Amino acid sequence: MNKEIQQKETDGKGMFYIEKDGDIVAELTYTLQDNNIMTLDHTETNPEYSGEGLASGLVKHSVDYAREKDLKIDPLCKYAAKQFERHEEYQEVQATEE
C-alpha cells in the first residue's frame, strides 16, 4: 500500500490522511488556532490496517509540518498525546500552557 500522506485544509481546520483505492484508511484531524498552535483533535485508522504504523506516521508528519511552518502542537487527541510522551524529540514543538 502507498503510505503517501496527503493534506486538506479549509478555514483553519484540516487533516492529514492516507488513502488506499480512493478510501481514507487513516486520518489525523487538526485545528489551527490564531496563536500559531495546531490542536490535534482526532486520530483514526481503519481497523483493517491497525498495527501498520499509519497513525504514528501521521503524528510524525504533523510534527514535521509544525516545524516547517513554525507552529506549536497541542496534542488533544489521546493517541497523539501518547506519541508525544513516547517521542522526546516531538516535545520541542509541543505547546506549553502559560
Whether 81 is covered by a domain: the verdict is yes
Query: Residue 85 is part of a domain; what is its CATH number?
Result: 3.40.630.30
Whether 83 is covered by a domain: the verdict is yes
Whether 12 is covered by a domain: the verdict is yes
Domain count, the chain: 1
Separation in Å, CA 91 to CA 42, 75, 88:
19, 10, 5
For helices 54-69 and 78-86, angle between their N-to-C axes, nearest 10 degrees: 80
Predicted TM-score (pTM) of this structure? 0.94
Q: CA-CA distance, 16 to 7, in Å (whole number)?
A: 5
State yes or no: pLDDT of 97 exceeds 80. Answer: no
Convert the pLDDT of each residue in 15-60 to its tens digit: 999 999 999 999 999 999 989 999 999 999 999 999 999 999 999 9
